[in-house]
Amino acid sequence: QEPIGKRKAIEAVWYTGRMMGETLAHTICGNRTAYNPGHWFNSAKFLDIEYQTYGWVNPAPLEKNRHFHWMHQDQSKCITIEYNQSTGEVNGINTFGIRLRHEVFHQWLTEKQDIDFVLKNLGKANFDPEFYARYEGDILEKYNLDLASV
84/113 same-domain check: yes
Residues 77 and 33 occupy one common structural domain: no
Q: Are residues 58 and 101 in the same domain?
A: yes
Same domain for 104 and 130? yes
pTM above 0.95, yes or no: no
Is 26 in the same domain as 83?
no
35-60 per-position pLDDT tens digit: 777 787 888 888 888 899 999 999 99
pLDDT at 65 over 90: yes
Parent domain of 88:
41-148
50 & 11 share domain: no
| CATH code where residue 126 lies | 3.30.390.30
**100 and 121 both lie in a single domain:** yes
Same domain, yes or no, for 34 and 54?
A: no
Q: How confident is the model at residue 13 (pLDDT cuts 50, 70, 90)?
A: low
- Whose CA is closest to 39, among 88, 81, 95, 102? 102
The verdict on 20 and 58 lying in the same domain is: no
Residues 21 and 91 in one domain: no
CB 41 within 8 A of CB 102: yes
Neighbours of 128 (CB within 10 A): 15
Give the total number of structural domains in the chain.
Answer: 2
For residues 95 and 30, membership in a common domain is answered with no
Same domain flag for 31 and 45: no
Distance CA 83, CA 114 (A): 8
pLDDT digits over 82-131, tens only? Answer: 999 999 999 999 999 998 998 999 999 999 999 999 999 999 998 866 76
* Distance (Å, whole) CA 27 – CA 38: 19
